[in-house]
Amino acid sequence: MNNFLKDFTIAPTLGTIVSLTLLLTSCTEKSRTPSSSPSDAVVYLYTDLELLKIRAQIDKLDSLTTRAKEDSLMRLYGLNHDQYEGAMNSSKTDLESWKQFNERVLSRLEKLQHDLIPRIDSTAGASKEAQQVPPKKSK
């Protein structure tokens, strides 16, 4: 998954994460009763597919490229399209399970944002040469 996230440019991804975070925050509240929850793979896949959709729009990716990236993500998380759609449909069966699913997506987005900000701060203002790792000295 790290290779997939490296494909994203930092500025649009950070804006996307912040926007999705605000959107999902307005739609969620703490669950009062436990309900069945989708697997982490479904939550991660859903989050990554949503980020991919935004990335495809920004980069004007064609549908074949986008579909190939979707398939790659599904293989990464060990799901096929039918399994993913089934899990998503079961999450949408009632309001409480859908809220719980969105809380987990929000948590994932917050983690991605948290992981991304230190990398942005550490490279801000540095020249390309300063960002590169120096070559190892041969003995």
Which residue ranges of the chain lie beneath pLDDT 50? 1-3, 5-11, 20, 22-37, 127-137, 139
Residue 136 falls within a domain, yes or no?
A: no
Structure pTM?
0.58
Closest CA relative to residue 48, chosen from 37, 58, 40: 40
Residue 8 falls within a domain, yes or no?
A: yes
Residue-number span of the structural domain to which 107 is assigned: 2-28+43-117
Give CA–CA dist 86/83, Å, rounded.
5
Give CA–CA dist 40/104, Å, rounded.
9
**Which residue type is seen at 19?**
S
Residue 135 falls within a domain, yes or no?
A: no
- The number of domains in the chain is 1
Residue 133 falls within a domain, yes or no?
A: no
The per-residue pLDDT for 39 is 86
Give CA–CA dist 26/111, Å, rounded.
18
Residue 125 falls within a domain, yes or no?
A: no
pLDDT, tens digit (0-9, with 9 covering 90-100), for 40-67: 999 999 999 999 999 999 999 999 999 9
